[in-house]
């Protein structure tokens, strides 16, 4: 292979490639007033998040033609992802050690992951295993671990702050910006990241809005919670299905 995965709504992933928002931590009640201070606070928040080692993430994405929900438990090397998209698409991803596992209905396997129709038909509801040595591994595992979540949040750019507010009972401050989307004419992506106002600041929520009509919201919780990841039994190697 490889076979290309059909991109998902991708507002969050698009933001990774655009300098649209710097993750800013308020560090108790302080507010950043200079770009340099915002960068320092961003580094602090990233370090705090990385040290926790795991996070619960719920993401909803919407365009004019598609709605998608992703529920994820992410750790440094492992992850679990449940995917639901309009049109009845459903899929599950599990990363354990150096192996990715995927299961789902035919629509999701074809339209979300980009599996050839013949392979998708063979998979059915069974788990399929894909070793990290496979060219298909990154297609399935690319955004199902904690480092990928950090990449999506740790974006730099010219910042402005929102007024302090609360989200799910947590005191937060938002950092937002707007930037042009490369390769589009004209289109912009607005992003706001809300950070807890605490001695060890952590991301709480991120939102993205495209001038083309798409939007995405990511809610993060349960930082540092111990998560068990167990490989499914009797998974079928993908290489057997590609023959």
83, 144 Cβ separation under 8 angstroms: no
Is 131 buried (19+), middle (13-18) or exposed (0-12) by CB count in 10 A? middle
The answer to whether residue 19 sits within a structural domain is yes
- Domain end call among 96, 118, 142: 142
Find, among 81, 222, 69, the residue nearest to 148 by Cα.
81
The answer to whether residue 88 sits within a structural domain is yes
For residue 36, what pLDDT is reported? Answer: 43
For residue 42, what pLDDT is reported? Answer: 67
- Domain end call among 142, 161, 183: 142
The answer to whether residue 234 sits within a structural domain is no
Residue 162 and residue 45 in one domain: yes
Q: How far is the C-alpha of 198 from the C-alpha of 226, rounded, in Å?
A: 22
- What is the span of the domain harbouring residue 119? 77-142
Residue 129 and residue 170 in one domain: no
Residue 136 and residue 85 in one domain: yes
Per-residue pLDDT of the chain (243 residues; tens, 9 = 90+): 334 344 444 555 555 544 333 333 333 334 443 444 556 666 677 788 889 999 999 999 988 888 999 999 999 999 999 999 998 999 999 999 999 999 999 999 998 888 888 888 888 778 999 999 998 898 888 889 998 888 777 656 677 778 889 998 999 888 877 776 665 556 777 888 888 888 888 889 988 888 888 888 999 999 999 999 999 988 999 988 876
Residue 52 and residue 149 in one domain: yes
The answer to whether residue 4 sits within a structural domain is no
pTM above threshold 0.85? no
CB atoms near residue 83 (< 10 Å)? 22
Residue 58 and residue 151 in one domain: yes
Residue 111 and residue 155 in one domain: no
- Domain end call among 95, 118, 142: 142
Domain count, the chain: 2
For residue 39, what pLDDT is reported? Answer: 60
Residue 61 and residue 151 in one domain: yes
Residue 89 and residue 208 in one domain: no
For residue 14, what pLDDT is reported? Answer: 53
Residue 85 and residue 34 in one domain: no
Residue 216 and residue 124 in one domain: no
């Amino acid at each position: 292979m490889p076979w290309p995965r059909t991109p998902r709504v991708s507002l969050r992933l698009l933001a990774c490639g655009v300098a649209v928002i710097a993750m800013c931590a308020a560090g108790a009640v302080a507010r950043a007033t200079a770009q340099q201070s915002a960068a320092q606070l961003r580094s602090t928040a990233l370090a705090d998040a990385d040290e926790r080692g795991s996070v619960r993430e719920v993401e909803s994405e919407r365009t004019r033609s598609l709605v998608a929900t992703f529920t994820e438990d992410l750790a440094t090397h492992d992850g679990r992802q449940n995917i639901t998209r309009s049109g009845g698409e459903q899929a599950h991803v599990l990363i354990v050690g150096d192996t990715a596992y995927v299961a789902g209905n035919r629509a999701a396997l074809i339209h979300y992951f980009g599996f050839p129709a013949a392979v998708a038909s063979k998979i059915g509801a069974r788990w399929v295993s894909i070793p990290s040595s496979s060219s298909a591994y990154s297609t399935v595992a690319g955004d199902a671990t904690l480092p990928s979540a950090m990449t999506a949040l740790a974006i730099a750019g010219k910042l402005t702050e929102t007024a302090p507010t609360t989200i799910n009972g947590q005191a937060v401050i938002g950092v937002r910006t707007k930037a042009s989307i490369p390769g589009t004419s004209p289109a912009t992506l607005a992003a706001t990241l809300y950070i807890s106002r605490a001695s060890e600041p952590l991301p709480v929520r991120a939102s993205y809005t495209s001038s083309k009509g798409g939007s995405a919201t990511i809610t993060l919780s349960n930082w540092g919670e111990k998560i068990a990841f167990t490989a499914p039994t009797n998974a079928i190697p993908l290489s057997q299905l590609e023959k």
